[in-house]
Amino acid sequence: MVPVRFWFQSDMRRYGQKLLSRRQIQRGGLFNPDYVERLLNYEMEGVPGLRHGLKLWMLMTFLLWHEQMVDAPIAP
């Protein structure tokens, strides 16, 4: 299991908030910004249930992959 709750209480908090910000999610147009914001708030507040951290981790890894593989310019 990925310790997302621990990470969001320490170093990854600011990075996760930036990557999953409403503005970034709206710009990408792939996910519902209200839902992502709710997941992020649940994790920050320590609300138990339904693996919020795991969902955030999957969103973050997908967004980073998408940025590197889809949005990146094609090398000559």
Q: Which one, of 11, 10, 31, lies nearest residue 21 by Cα?
A: 31
What amino acid occupies position 75?
A
Tokens 């969902």 sit on residue: 55
Q: Which residue has the higher pLDDT, 14 or 75?
A: 14
11-29 residue pLDDT tens: 788 888 899 999 999 999 9
Tally the domains of the chain: 1
Q: With respect to residue 76, please indicate whether it lies within any of the assigned structural domains.
A: no
Q: With respect to residue 60, please indicate whether it lies within any of the assigned structural domains.
A: yes
Mean pLDDT (the chain, rounded)? 86
28-42 residue pLDDT tens: 999 999 999 998 888
Residues of the domain holding 47 = 4-69
- The model's pTM is 0.80
Q: With respect to residue 74, please indicate whether it lies within any of the assigned structural domains.
A: no
